Amino acid sequence: MSTAPTPHLVGADPQVPRRAVVTGAAGFIGSHLTLALLQAGATVIGVDRRDADSDPAAATNLTLLRDHPAFIPITAELLTCAIEPLLLDADAVFHLAAIPGVRPSWGPRFSDYVTCNILATQRIMDAATRLRVPRLVVASSSSVYGATNGTPSNEIDHPHPASPYAVTKLAQEQLCLAHAARPDCPTTVTALRYFTVYGPRQREDMFLHRLLTAALDDTPIQIFGDGRQRRDFTYITDVVTATIAAATAPTINTVINVGTGTSTSIADTIQLARRLTGARIPTTDTTTRNGDVAATCADTTRARHLLAWTPHVDLATGMAEQFDWITSHQPATV
């Protein structure tokens, strides 16, 4: 059996890897994670197939990163690029690149979900183990649990993914863990099951972005179903803190929920947005979308024990931050 290498840590903050690779760095969560790593003193190789010069969302996400001297942006397609040069000398890989989104995964983009979420992950794990990268943190999803009985989901619960997306996320995390379980594998893996992440720069297809944009623009928001579905909304800075902790905590080869342990219905979230913004926010009702589960809520015991992590930002505070951001990034009207 080989001995797992130990990550080098930055001098200033002993909880931060010295040299990190972030895949999906031009995305919502990846760009926040990258900035936090840079601010803590790490060098970050940020890999994404989206290019700030041609993709406006990527440009917005990368605004605060692009000129940082310790940021090395690489525009690359993980399915075809040479992975090993990207991972050379890395102390940790944060593998966030994926095709996200539950509802579109039923459609013609399914092959993208399979290739990006599973095949690209196989390439990353192969390279990480060959280069003896000590730690890989992979972004998994609360969606792997599927329908629940209403109690918080625990990592030992049997997963019942209810959408093609969720199936690919379960495959992604289990693929990483299968590599890591080989006796000769030098890379330890922590799979983080994120619960509906929100905050500034949230993806435009997600509910809170649409809701707060509707408040600003005085346009209606579409509700999929009766609005009684509940989500464990988790604020981006809390997610980033948990993700960085997962790179250095003495935790090996496991899955960990990253959620708050509370959940809020879509109807209550709309009321909260009305109070917060003073807007009417009219709603239109449409049918429940396939693959949408009735409720998500994280059991956070494992995150507390293994990562010494607790979330700090409540929904009202986080939504206010996100609304401020949307307001200040409103395109100027002529």
The minimum distance between CB 88 and ligand NAD, in angstroms, equals: 18
Beta bridge partners of 235: 198
> Which of ligand NAD, ligand UGA, none binds 281 (CB below 5-8 Å, type-dependent)?
none
DSSP 3-state of 250: coil
What is the C-alpha to C-alpha distance for residues 20 and 40, in angstroms, rounded to an integer?
Answer: 12
Is 165 catalytic? The answer is yes
Print the SS3 string covering 176-221: HHHHHCCCCCCCEEEEEEECCEECCCCCCCCHHHHHHHHHHHCCCE
Which residues between 314 and 333 bind ligand NAD (CB under 6 A)?
A: none
Going by C-alpha positions, the residue among 196, 200, 191 that lies closest to residue 232 is: 196
Q: Which lies closer to ligand UGA via its Cβ, residue 143 or residue 251?
A: 143
What is the C-alpha to C-alpha distance for residues 178 and 326, in angstroms, rounded to an integer?
Answer: 41
Binder of ligand NAD out of 77, 217, 218, 285 (CB under 6 A)? 77
Going by C-alpha positions, the residue among 260, 263, 244 that lies closest to residue 304 is: 260
End-to-end CA distance of the chain: 66
Which residues between 95 and 134 bind ligand NAD (CB under 6 A)?
A: 96-100, 116, 120
The minimum distance between CB 230 and ligand UGA, in angstroms, equals: 9
The CA-atom distances, in angstroms, between 116 and each of 96, 103, 112, 255, 277 are 11, 17, 6, 20, 38
Q: Which lies closer to ligand UGA via its Cβ, residue 165 or residue 309?
A: 165
Binder of ligand NAD out of 163, 196, 229, 243 (CB under 6 A)? 196
> b vs e for 295-309, b when ≥16 Cβ sit within 10 Å of the residue's Cβ?
bbbbbbebbeebbeb
Scanning 192-200, 207-215, 278-286, 297-305 for contacts with ligand NAD by CB under 6 A, the matching segment is 192-200
The minimum distance between CB 252 and ligand NAD, in angstroms, equals: 21
- What is the DSSP pairing of strand 221-224 with strand 230-231? unpaired
What is the C-alpha to C-alpha distance for residues 325 and 139, in angstroms, rounded to an integer?
Answer: 25
The minimum distance between CB 163 and ligand UGA, in angstroms, equals: 9
Q: Which lies closer to ligand UGA via its Cβ, residue 127 or residue 281?
A: 281
CA 44 to chain centre: 17
* Residue 146 touches ligand NAD, criterion: CB under 6 A: no
Catalytic residue among 145, 165, 194, 198: 165
Q: Which lies closer to ligand NAD via its Cβ, residue 10 or residue 44?
A: 44
> Which of ligand UGA, ligand NAD, none binds 317 (CB below 5-8 Å, type-dependent)?
none
The minimum distance between CB 235 and ligand UGA, in angstroms, equals: 13
Place of tokens 């991972």: 87
Strand order in the sheet with 135-141: 71-75, 43-48, 19-23, 92-95, 135-141, 188-194, 254-258
DSSP 3-state of 104: helix
Which residue has its beta carbon closest to ligand NAD?
27
> b vs e for 207-241, b when ≥16 Cβ sit within 10 Å of the residue's Cβ?
bbbebbbbbeeeeebebeeeeebbbbbbbbbbbbb
Binder of ligand NAD out of 71, 145, 194, 207 (CB under 6 A)? 194
Q: Which lies closer to ligand UGA via its Cβ, residue 9 or residue 236?
A: 236
* Site residues, ligand UGA (CB under 6 A): 100-102, 141-143, 194-196, 206-207, 210, 222-224, 229, 231, 266, 289, 292, 296
* Residue 17 touches ligand NAD, criterion: CB under 6 A: no
Binder of ligand NAD out of 79, 147, 308, 316 (CB under 6 A)? 79
Number of residues that bind ligand NAD (CB under 6 A): 26
Q: Which residues bind ligand NAD (CB under 6 A)?
A: 24, 26-30, 48-50, 77-79, 96-100, 116, 120, 139, 141, 169, 194, 196-197, 203
Active site residues: 165
